[in-house]
Amino acid sequence: MIVADRKKVPEIRDMISKHTKVLLVGCGTCVTVCLAGGEREIGILGSALRMALRLAGHADVAVDECTIERQCEDAFIDILAQRATQYDAIVSFGCGAGVQALAERFPNTAVYPGLNTQFIGILESQGVWTEKCSGCGNCRLGEFAGICPITRCAKRLFNGPCAGSRDGKCEVDADLDCAWQLIYDRSKALGILDNFDAIAEPQDWSTGLDGGPRKVVREDQHIAGLGPKA
Amino acid sequence: MNPQSAIPNAPRRTSPQSPEPLILAFCCHYCAYAAADLAGSMRLQYPANVRLLRLPCTGRVEVNYLLAAFERGADAVIVAGCLEGGCHFQEGNLRARRRVERAKGLLREIGIEPERLEMFNLSSAEGGRFAEIVTEMNERVKHLGLSPMKPDAQSIQAAMREMTHEADERIASEPSGRARGSAHAK
Ligand code: SF4
Ligand code: SF4
């Protein structure tokens, strides 16, 4: 899932203080699970922002809250469309995709991010999320025993480890597991250490972000001419 | 500040003309609420401007309750749960403490003194401690002054009018008291 955390109250306050009616929009999917932008967090932030605005002399800015199931799909934004016309600004508490989906849908309304979108990751333990995938567009996990060297090795080595691997920890940060130690241990357990006799091929980065935003099209599902609603 | 606020057992009603400090106490049913009861039985004096909210456990406290209390003009908020290790639901009071810490961080970001919010632990036998806690928070408010969120006299009056109006409407729309009373008696 997408993992995010919230922006500080003063930053959001300053983004919206010039507006008169602001709607905070939460998202009920990834960011609810990572406790950043769901219904409960929106309630907390709504209270906090109203107080912060009042203290900064902007008591006239009205702040309301609502949460939709998923911000990154236009169909779910429908439920909000009518209400949104009453506001001159929206703060999205979805990931960066959610913010942009709202901005596309409401061309005449200012849309601001309430969260800092961090990464694609997993819940490691209660209250702790860790990054697992960088969305490289050409997944190589099969070669590396299911552990991503692009995301989890600080140097993105395809033929690791480097000489800085110490007692299973990465030289870049002693709190970080060395991805290559993990790859080695798991490969040993799976009996596939032979895989590493050959040099791993360099990555084909043409599938990555460098050529601009990517697009996935499913020809059998795609209906030509049907774009997002305005 | 209204000097009345410092007098123990001052009249309970607040005057809309001059807001007196208001302390809200989220009290666990098993300890703080019973301790408050005991303080009363012991005839202990403590500031009368505290309002108690009974919860089954302080673990029921969410950060949004705490912020909502300040947003509505509370000058200080107490969360009072059982002694650590003594929670009836094992760790409700420990969770509450962490939420109180988080709310304090948010208050700091908002620009409200985090000292206005505090978590306390006590047992149901500590009537004296309850009185002490309320007195301590009242002293803090006196030192810090009224909350910057305190509604002015006009908005308090408006809110009171609205509440009265809502209550009137609700009573008017309910079935008569006699009918409900007889239904209950059956
Ligand atoms: S190889 Fe690419 S797609 Fe696979 S986990 Fe790593 S970054 Fe993600
Ligand atoms: S110590 Fe391990 S994880 Fe860190 S950079 Fe070297 S190989 Fe990568």
Q: Is the CB of A165 under 6 A from ligand 2?
A: yes
Tens digit of each residue's pLDDT (9 = 90 or more) over B98-134:
999 999 999 999 999 999 999 999 999 999 999 999 9
**Does residue B176 form part of some domain?**
no
Of A40, A47, A56, the CB nearest to B68: A47
- Angle at CA B164, nearest 5°, toward B161 and B168? 135
Q: Determine the distance separating the centroid of ligand 2 and the alpha carbon of A161, expressed in angstroms.
A: 6
Domain count along chain B? 1
Q: Determine the distance separating the centroid of ligand 1 and the alpha carbon of A218, expressed in angstroms.
A: 21
**Range with the poorest average pLDDT among A124-133, A173-182, A206-215, B47-56:** A206-215
Q: Which residues of A touch B63 (CB under 8 A)?
A: 44
Q: Is residue A228 pLDDT above 60, yes or no?
A: no
pLDDT at site B106: 98
What is the token pair recorded at B22?
């208001």
pLDDT at site B162: 85
pLDDT at site B123: 97
pLDDT at site B2: 40
Q: Do A51 and B149 touch (CB under 8 A)?
A: yes
Nearest atom in ligand 2 to A165's CA: 1
pLDDT at site B9: 41
The strand pairing partners of A113, in sequence order, are A92
Count of CB contacts below 8 A, A vs B? 40
Nearest chain B residue to A53 by CA: give it.
B110
What is the token pair recorded at A77?
């934004």
What is the token pair recorded at A27?
């998202």
Best residue among A158, A159, A180 to mutate for probing ligand 2's pocket (most ligand atoms within 8 Å of CB) is A180
Task: Quote the CA–CA distance of B34 and B37 in Å, as a whole number.
Answer: 5
Per-residue pLDDT band at A219 (split at 50, 70, 90): confident
**Does residue B156 form part of some domain?**
no
Tens digit of each residue's pLDDT (9 = 90 or more) over A60-76:
999 999 999 999 999 99
Q: Do B64 and A47 touch (CB under 8 A)?
A: yes
pLDDT at site B16: 47
Best residue among A119, A131, A139, A183 to mutate for probing ligand 1's pocket (most ligand atoms within 8 Å of CB) is A139
Best residue among A152, A162, A182 to mutate for probing ligand 2's pocket (most ligand atoms within 8 Å of CB) is A162
Q: Is residue A187 pLDDT above 70, yes or no?
A: yes
Architecture of domain A2-119: 3-Layer(aba) Sandwich (3.40)
pTM over 0.90: no
Q: Is residue A148 pLDDT above 60, yes or no?
A: yes
- Angle at CA A96, nearest 5°, toward A93 and A97? 105
Q: Ligand 1 pocket: which residues have CB below 6 Å?
A: A 133-136, 139-141, 148, 150-151
3-class secondary-structure state, position A198: coil
**Does residue B39 form part of some domain?**
yes
Average pLDDT, chain A: 95
Q: Determine the distance separating the centroid of ligand 2 and the alpha carbon of A116, expressed in angstroms.
A: 27
Q: Is the CB of A179 under 6 A from ligand 2?
A: yes
Q: Is residue A177 pLDDT above 80, yes or no?
A: yes
Q: Is residue A127 pLDDT above 80, yes or no?
A: yes
Q: CB distance from B61 to chain A under 8 Å?
A: no
- Residue B172 phi, psi dihedral angles, 5° rounding: -65, -35
How far is CA A138 from each of CA A118, A151, A214, rounded to the nearest angstrom? 21, 13, 12
Exposed e or buried b per residue across A92-125, where buried means at least 16 C-beta atoms within 10 angstroms of its C-beta = bbbbebbbbbbbebbeebbbbbbbebebbbeeee
A178 DSSP 8-state letter: P
Task: Quote the CA–CA distance of B47 and A54 in Å, as a whole number.
Answer: 29
Tens digit of each residue's pLDDT (9 = 90 or more) over B3-13:
334 334 434 44
Q: Which residues of B touch A43 (CB under 8 A)?
A: 64
Is there a contact between B59 and B107 (Cβ–Cβ < 8 Å)? Answer: no
Instruction: Give the domain range for residue B127.
Output: 23-144
Tens digit of each residue's pLDDT (9 = 90 or more) over A191-202:
999 999 999 999
- Angle at CA B170, nearest 5°, toward B165 and B173? 125
The domain spanning residue B80 has which CATH number? 3.40.50.960
A5 or B158: whose pLDDT is higher? Answer: A5
**Does residue B124 form part of some domain?**
yes
**Range with the poorest average pLDDT among A21-25, A215-219, B109-113, B163-167:** B163-167
Find where tokens 């099209």 sit: A217
Of A10, A40, A56, the CB nearest to B109: A10
**Does residue B54 form part of some domain?**
yes
SS (H, E, C) B19-74: CCCCEEEEEECCCHHHHHHHHHHCCCCCECCEEEEEECCHHHCCHHHHHHHHHCCC
Task: Quote the CA–CA distance of A64 and A51 in Å, as a whole number.
Answer: 13
Q: Which residues of B touch A50 (CB under 8 A)?
A: 71
**Nearest partner of A112 among A209, A7, A196, judged by Cα:** A7
Tens digit of each residue's pLDDT (9 = 90 or more) over A37-95:
999 999 999 999 999 999 999 999 999 999 999 999 999 999 999 999 999 999 999 99
Domain residue spans of chain A: 2-119, 139-202
Please tell me the distance in Å from B102's CA to the nearest CA on chain A. Answer: 11
pLDDT at site B18: 53
Which residue positions in chain B have pLDDT lower than 70?
Answer: 1-19, 176-186
